[in-house]
Amino acid sequence: MESMAKENGLAASSIPAATNPMVTPLLTDQYQFTMAYAYWKAGKHQERAVFDLFFRKSPFGGEYTVFGGLEECIRFVANFRLDEEEISYLQSVMPRCEDGFFEFLRDIDCSDVEVYAIPEGSVVFPKMPLMRVEGPVAVVQLLETPFVNLVNFASLVTTNAARHRLVAGKSKTLLEFGLRRAQGPDGGMSASRYCYIGGFDATSNVAAGKLFGIPLCGTHSHAFVSSFMSPNEIINRELQSHDGSSTCQDFVNLVQTWLSKLQHAVSLPWFFGDTSQSELAAFISYALAFPHNFLALVDTYNVMRSGVPNFCAVALALNELGYKANGIRLDSGDLSYLSIESRKFFHAIEKEFCISGFGKTTIAASNDLNEETLDALNKQGHEIDSYGIGTHLVTCYSQAALGCVFKLVEINNKPRMKLSEDITKVSIPCKKQCFRLYGSEGFPLVDIMLGVNEPSPKVGERILCRHPFIESKRAYVVPQRVEELLKCYWPGKSYEKREELPSLQEMRNHCMQQLQKMRSDHMRRLNPTPYKVSVSGKLYDFIHFLWLSEAPVGELQ
């Protein structure tokens, strides 16, 4: 493997191992090893095969998917080796297999495998190959289950995050709060990574922050608020001013002074009596701990009668010492109404006490939010700046799986095709090249597949685009821009130039750019316009020739 890597200008150690140590050659279905043995036994194991990884239907009732998981696949390929412990285990569960097969397994790596893929974070569509994998059939067969596993959830959760980003809007901050509800530790780690690629701004998952460099976010829970009884519990009451020039000896008293001012300010359009002193004590304690980053959860007792006034008293005391409070978080109740009323309160305080910018204090919301909730809030009207989203995001609550598949499309330069009575399950044969064609307005018009020996589409030249299976669906396109979709990410022994794996931030930026490139009617939540995925006229003719050649002819009695 090392010599192969050097041939392609790639040090074998330059691609680290998979993020999850569970991702090993044994992370596969048993039938991959039984097929590998059968290939070996038949002497077919070195035959050159081409497989496509694709999906048949976009998730969440939409018309698009965002591709995730490629980097983990390349990490897996780069480090693919079976160690002696793994070989011993396989010998124990496959006792009737010949020793020569296990010698074969000891020697295999992915030095003769080629991986071509659409860049991670790209908007992709059904039937188009996300990845094209070429190599010895027995080796590539062993990659099938790990690849499908690494891509399925990654693409599903990245798409889910992108859908939340689109409905929330570019100006809103999106925070991923899903670790406690995720499907186990790896589900939580994967979700944090791919939610970030899909457009979220930060995560509450500290391990993901450390491993992936994702910005962290988090304040306190209801337990922190209810753990206090009274401000008298606060022992250390000192707080140095923001610039360090002075020290407030009794921050608790300063807060209580501001609370009294709020209660007696006649210009404020709200009347409230005594607020919760236990809540006030919690807010003061949290502000003393984090004066630079004070954001309070205000719904433990009563949002407008206690939580918001208590927050404002602490925020105004911090302001007097040169700090600026971050804002509030709403975790229950009518989020639209409460955010609007809170915003009015902030603006009234800004006007009453002449504190510039206080009216723009951040309002965050959580409480089991999902895509439908965000859409409903937009229609109702609200003043929320930031959303914390957990369960529905990381578990992909509305759809359990994407359904990627890995199909043989060529072996020994001979095209292969999977047939089915269900037309959606018929595969598209041949080793293919894939392009995205753009129209005069700058939006993609159609994705097209061609055989690798066909000339590539050219700007300004008319090309016939055909539905793979429906004869009447066809159209001529004169592209104003042509984008080649499949790029080489693992060259094997070929002389293809290897694409560098982008950083997580670069993937996120690419995803955001991709979402902006698409026509809005393809991306809308309800009744989106189907995006056209096509084949060339030559490939269409070959598909149907092969279909008729392979399909058995029935006989009526």
Tokens of 323: 């700090």
pLDDT of residue 11: 46
Based on the fold, state whether residues 153 and 10 are members of the same structural domain.
yes
Alpha carbon distance 78, 80 (integer Å): 6
Q: What is the pLDDT along the chain (557 residues), one digit of tens a residue?
A: 444 444 444 444 479 999 999 999 999 999 999 999 999 999 999 999 999 999 999 999 999 999 999 999 999 999 999 999 999 999 999 999 999 999 999 999 999 999 999 999 999 999 999 999 999 999 999 999 999 999 999 999 999 999 999 999 999 999 999 999 999 999 999 999 999 999 999 999 999 999 999 999 999 999 999 999 999 999 999 999 999 999 999 999 999 999 999 988 867 756 567 899 999 999 999 999 999 999 999 999 999 999 999 999 999 999 999 999 999 999 999 999 999 999 999 999 999 999 999 999 999 999 999 999 999 999 999 999 999 999 999 999 999 999 999 999 999 999 999 888 788 889 999 999 999 999 999 999 999 999 999 999 999 999 999 999 999 999 999 999 999 999 999 999 999 999 999 999 999 999 999 999 999 999 999 999 999 999 999 999 999 999 888 888 888 88
Q: Report the CATH number at residue 80.
A: 3.20.140.10
- Least Cα distance to 176 among 186, 188, 159 occurs for 188
Q: Which H/E stretch holds residue 102?
A: helix 99-107
Alpha carbon distance 517, 530 (integer Å): 16
Q: Report the CATH number at residue 292.
A: 3.20.20
pLDDT of residue 271: 55
Strand, coil or helix: 24: coil
Answer for the pair 268, 349: CB distance below 8 angstroms, yes or no: yes
DSSP state for residue 476 in the 8-state scheme: E
Based on the fold, state whether residues 56 and 125 are members of the same structural domain.
yes
Is residue 364 domain-resident?
A: yes
pLDDT digits (tens, 9 = 90+) for 305-335: 999 999 999 999 999 999 999 999 999 999 9
Cβ contacts of residue 523 below 8 Å, gap of 6+? 62, 63, 64, 166, 515
Based on the fold, state whether residues 226 and 261 are members of the same structural domain.
yes
Based on the fold, state whether residues 28 and 153 are members of the same structural domain.
yes
pLDDT of residue 270: 60
- Least Cα distance to 143 among 212, 220, 82 occurs for 82
pLDDT of residue 64: 98
Is residue 190 domain-resident?
A: no
Is residue 61 domain-resident?
A: yes
Chosen domain end from 361, 384, 407: 384
Is residue 203 domain-resident?
A: no
- Number of domains into which the chain is organized: 2
Is residue 67 domain-resident?
A: yes
Torsion angle in degrees (nearest 10) through CA of 45, 46, 50, 52 = 40
Alpha carbon distance 123, 262 (integer Å): 51
Tokens of 156: 């599903």
Chosen domain end from 342, 362, 384: 384
> What phi and psi, each to the nearest 5 degrees, are found at residue 382?
-160, 175
Q: E strands, 120-163, where?
A: 123-124, 131-136
Based on the fold, state whether residues 37 and 104 are members of the same structural domain.
yes
Based on the fold, state whether residues 372 and 409 are members of the same structural domain.
no
Chosen domain end from 356, 384, 412: 384
3-state secondary structure 207-241: HHHHHHCCCECCCCCHHHHHCCCCHHHCCCCCEEC
Q: Which domain holds residue 302?
A: 219-384
Is residue 389 domain-resident?
A: no
Based on the fold, state whether residues 379 and 447 are members of the same structural domain.
no
Based on the fold, state whether residues 437 and 489 are members of the same structural domain.
yes
Is residue 92 domain-resident?
A: yes
In this prediction the pTM is 0.95
Based on the fold, state whether residues 403 and 537 are members of the same structural domain.
yes
Based on the fold, state whether residues 419 and 367 are members of the same structural domain.
no
pLDDT digits (tens, 9 = 90+) for 399-456: 999 999 999 999 999 999 988 878 888 999 999 999 999 999 999 999 999 999 999 9
Based on the fold, state whether residues 300 and 372 are members of the same structural domain.
yes
Alpha carbon distance 284, 266 (integer Å): 25
Cβ contacts of residue 281 below 8 Å, gap of 6+? 228, 229, 230, 231, 232, 233, 234
**Where would I find the H helices in 441-519?**
504-517
Based on the fold, state whether residues 322 and 413 are members of the same structural domain.
no
Alpha carbon distance 42, 292 (integer Å): 69
pLDDT of residue 266: 67
Q: Which single residue is written with the structure tokens 């018009």?
A: 445
Is residue 182 domain-resident?
A: no
